[in-house]
Amino acid sequence: MSNTFPSTFLSISLWAPVVSALQGEKFTLWFPTHEYHWLEVAQQNCSLQISDYHENNRERTASPCAAALDCLLENSSESIKSNLAGSQVLLGLTPSILAYVGSDMAELAVLATQRPYLALLMSIGAPTQQVRQILSSVDVAEIINKPSSGVARMYFGWLWNLPTVYQRLAAAATYALAIGAMINSVQGAIYLDARTVVGFRCNAVYLVSVWVLLGITPTIFAIAAIRQRHCLPSLASFAQFVEYSDARAPQEDKEDGLTLVPSLTGSTDESRGKWISNLLFLLASLAALVQFVYGTAILSALTPISFMDALPVVMRFAVSNVVCRALLLLELEGIRIRVHGSLRLMDDEAKF
C-alpha cells in the first residue's frame, strides 16, 4: 500500500493544471441546448462584464464573475430560467442517485487488500459511495461470507483453468474497464467545470472536479482500517496477484484449479488495536458523508445548464458507477472463492 498513495497524489497533481486552465474558458463554452442564446447575449449585452472577468478587472465590481453571470441571466427569458432551475434539481439529486447504485467503501477496502490500484481507480470512477451509518461496525467476515453468484462461480471456475497468460489478459481487461470508468467521470467533471459556474462560488473553476477526487478519501481511510485489522499482503498489480497465486501452488485445489489467498476472516490481530481500525472506519464514514453533502451543494448550484443538457451528464456518471459496481461484485466473488478454498465449499444454493 505504500506505493499506492504517492502515485495517487501524483496523478492528482498532474490533473490540477488541466483544471486551472479552464479559468479562461468560462463564459466562452456553452451547452448545446441554449448555446445560440448565450453566445448572442455574451456578444451583444454582456461583453464588457465577461471581458472584466477574463482580465480580472475589479474597477467596476468586486466580483467580475458574478457580474457577468447576473448579466447573462438578466437578459434571459423566464422559460430559460425555469429550464435552468429544473437542471439544478436533477444535478442536486445526482449524488443520491449515484450512491444508490454505487459501491460500498468497506467492500472496496476488502478488494484493496488484494488489488489496491484497482480499488482506487474505482473510487474515482464511481465518485459517490454508499454512505454507512456513523459509528456502525464493519464485519469483514460478513462481506466475505455473502452468498456467492452462480454466474461468478462459473466464470472463475472457467478462468482459473485457463493458462496464466489468459488470466492476466482478463485481469488487464478489468483494469481497462476501471480506467475507462475513471476517465469517463473525470471528463464529465471537467466538461461541467468548463461550461458552468457555481452560484455561491462563482470564481472557482474546479469544484466539480474536487467532488470526483474526494471519492478517494473514504476509500483510503477504509483501506487503512482493513490493513490495521487484518495482516494481509498488498498485491498492487494484477501481475503480482497472479504471481502470488503461482507462488502458493502447494495450497492449490487441483481439481478446481483454485488458489487460496490469506483468509480475511481469520487473520484478525486484536493486539494491533481494534479501536484504531474502528476510528479509521468512522473517518471513512465521515469522509463519505462530507463528499456526499459537498457534491449535492455544488451540483445543485451549477448554472447555466438546461435540463436536457444535464440529463446526459448524470447518465454519464451513472454508467461509470454501474460499471465499477459490477467490477467490484465480480472481484469480490473471486476473493470469496479463494478465501473459502474451493468451488465445492460454496453454497450450492447461491443466489444469482
Given a cut of 70, is residue 321 above it in pLDDT? yes
Instruction: Give Cα separations from 71 to 45, 54, 197, 317 (angstroms).
Output: 8, 15, 14, 31
- Who has greater pLDDT, 265 or 338? 338
Q: How many CA atoms lie within 13 A of 34 on its CB side?
A: 27
pLDDT of residue 90: 93
Tens digit of each residue's pLDDT (9 = 90 or more) over 198-251: 888 887 778 899 999 888 888 888 888 777 665 444 444 334 444 444 444 334
- Who has greater pLDDT, 145 or 346? 145
Q: Give the range among 28-42, 120-134, 164-178, 223-237 with minimum mean pLDDT.
A: 223-237
pLDDT of residue 348: 42
Given a cut of 90, is residue 274 above it in pLDDT? no
E strand map for the chain: 197-198, 302-303
Per DSSP, 126 falls in state: S
Given a cut of 70, is residue 262 above it in pLDDT? no
| DSSP string computed for 200-222 | TBTT-S-HHHHHHHTTHHHHHHH
What is the signed CA dihedral for 307, 310, 312, 318, rounded to 10 degrees? -120
Average pLDDT value for the chain: 75
Given a cut of 90, is residue 57 above it in pLDDT? no
Distance between CA atoms of residues 328 and 178, nearest Å: 10
